């Protein structure tokens, strides 16, 4: 869990196998438009190595590809909370 600027909370549950993400669930009290952008981020993270650059890149590309707007959270916040939930310290 991470409390981000502005007081919003972001949380992730991550399952990992041999250094690869197998399942991700991101929740929190932030807003995203379109609403399915969080689901798309989760889908794109499955199969990712537990590498900070790869995780950040997948989050960023999902948000950009959907031309999404995040309110109360940033792409960096999402990547960091996923990495921390998986036991990896973000860069």
Look at residue 89 in the predicted model and tell me its pLDDT. Answer: 81
Cα–Cα nearest to 79, from 19, 58, 22, 39? 58
CB < 8 Å & 24+ apart, contacts of 75-79 = 77/2, 77/4, 77/10, 78/10, 78/12, 78/26, 78/41, 79/52, 79/55
The answer to the question of residue 75 being in a domain is yes
Per-residue pLDDT tens digits for 2-57: 887 777 899 999 999 999 999 999 999 999 999 899 999 999 999 999 999 999 99
* 34 found inside a domain: yes
Number of domains comprising the chain = 1
Phi/psi of residue 81, each to 5°?
-65, -35
In a domain, 90, yes or no: no
Q: Is residue 79 part of a domain?
A: yes
Q: Is residue 35 part of a domain?
A: yes
């Amino acid at each position: 869990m991470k409390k981000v600027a502005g007081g919003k909370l972001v949380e992730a549950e991550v399952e990992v196998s041999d250094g690869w993400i197998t399942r991700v669930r991101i929740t929190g009290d932030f807003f995203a438009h379109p609403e399915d952008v969080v689901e798309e981020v989760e889908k794109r993270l499955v199969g990712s190595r537990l590498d900070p650059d790869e995780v950040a890149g997948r989050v960023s590309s999902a948000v950009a590809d959907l031309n999404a707007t995040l309110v109360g959270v940033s792409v960096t916040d999402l990547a960091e909370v996923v990495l921390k939930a998986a036991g990896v310290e973000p860069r």
